[in-house]
């Protein structure tokens, strides 16, 4: 029997923390996963994908949004397409119980390699959480001759940064291109973002700047202590700790 997995309306971080792991661990023979085009790489156990639904605007996403009313309409569309006898799975939205689960995903987008990948997240809803020293960090990396990529969807990225070797959206404004750039980089530098959770999912080493607000970085550190280099929230006022860490990695020949 086919199992139709309803979408989870949520922030991207919760999508990675909860939905991808729940889909991966769901025991059934055939999985039809509701996702957007360009996200297929996040679901290696899927047998088919369902795109005939509309996500909600990112400006109204806070954690996991109530889903039931939206699900009813999607279920009707799915039954018309796949038949009334399909099993329906309603994702739980639980972000804690499966944090230990990792699995391999691979993007299909061809991208260059980079030494350091930066997630220069531009928050439209909570701009106070935006990090303002990305250009200084990029310029510092360049003094060591490092190749620098910037990863993230174009609309959520500081795309006016210069001295960057390439942006992930240069190769397509999709999650697939983001995954491909991460997989072809030696380390990620990021704030507390959904991409930091994506890096944890694929067991990528990363430097994470602690959020000035309450953050999910504790979840990352607890479950991936061997992969996360913690940078203090004081970096939002003075990026010097970031410079010290990058120089230390260079001195250790990490990028060689």
* Domain contains 109: no
Residue pLDDT, tens place only, 213-252: 655 555 555 556 678 898 999 999 999 999 999 999 999 9
Domain membership of residue 101 (yes or no) is no
- 147 & 80 share domain: no
253/249 Cα distance (integer angstroms):
6
Q: End-to-end alpha-carbon separation of the chain, Å?
A: 50
Task: Return d(Cα 126, Cα 59) in angstroms, integer.
Answer: 10
Number of domains in the chain: 2
Instruction: Give the burial class of 111: count Cβ atoms within 10 A of its Cβ; 0-12 exposed, 13-18 middle, 19 or more buried.
Output: buried
pLDDT digits (tens, 9 = 90+) for 179-191: 999 999 999 999 9
d(CA 11, CA 58): 7
The range of the structural domain enclosing residue 34 comes to 2-89
SS3 84: coil
Q: Are residues 11 and 128 in the same domain?
A: no
102, part of any domain:
no
pLDDT for position 27: 94
27 C-beta neighbours (distance < 10 Å), count = 6
Between residues 200 and 134, the one the model is more confident about? 134
Tokens encoding 89: 């799975």
CB 93 within 8 A of CB 64: yes
Task: Give yes or no for a contact between 19 and 35, defined as CB atoms under 8 angstroms apart.
Answer: no
Q: Are residues 239 and 133 in the same domain?
A: yes
Q: What is the mean pLDDT of residues 152-169?
A: 96
Q: Is residue 9 part of a domain?
A: yes
């Amino acid at each position: 029997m086919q199992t139709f997995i309803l979408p989870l309306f949520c922030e991207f971080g919760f999508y990675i923390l909860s939905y991808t792991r729940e889909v991966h661990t769901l025991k059934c023979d055939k999985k039809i996963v509701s996702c957007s085009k360009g996200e297929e790489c996040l679901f290696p156990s899927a047998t088919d994908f369902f795109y005939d639904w509309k996500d909600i605007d990112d400006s109204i996403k806070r954690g996991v949004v109530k889903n039931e009313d939206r699900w009813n309409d999607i279920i009707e569309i799915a039954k018309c397409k796949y038949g009334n006898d399909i099993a329906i799975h309603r994702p739980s939205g639980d972000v804690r119980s499966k944090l230990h689960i990792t699995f391999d995903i691979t993007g299909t987008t061809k991208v260059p390699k980079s030494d350091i990948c930066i997630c220069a997240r531009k928050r439209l809803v909570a701009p106070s959480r935006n990090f303002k020293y990305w250009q200084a960090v990029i310029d510092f990396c360049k003094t060591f001759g490092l190749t620098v990529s910037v990863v993230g969807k174009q609309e959520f990225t500081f795309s006016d940064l210069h001295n960057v070797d390439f942006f992930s959206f240069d190769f397509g404004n999709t999650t697939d291109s983001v995954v491909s750039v991460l997989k072809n980089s030696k380390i990620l530098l990021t704030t507390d973002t959904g991409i930091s959770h994506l890096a944890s999912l694929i067991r990528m080493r990363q430097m994470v700047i602690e959020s000035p607000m309450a953050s999910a970085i504790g979840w990352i550190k607890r479950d991936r202590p061997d992969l996360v280099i913690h940078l203090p929230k004081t970096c939002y006022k003075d990026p010097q700790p970031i410079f010290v860490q990058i120089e230390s990695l260079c001195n250790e020949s990490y990028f060689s």
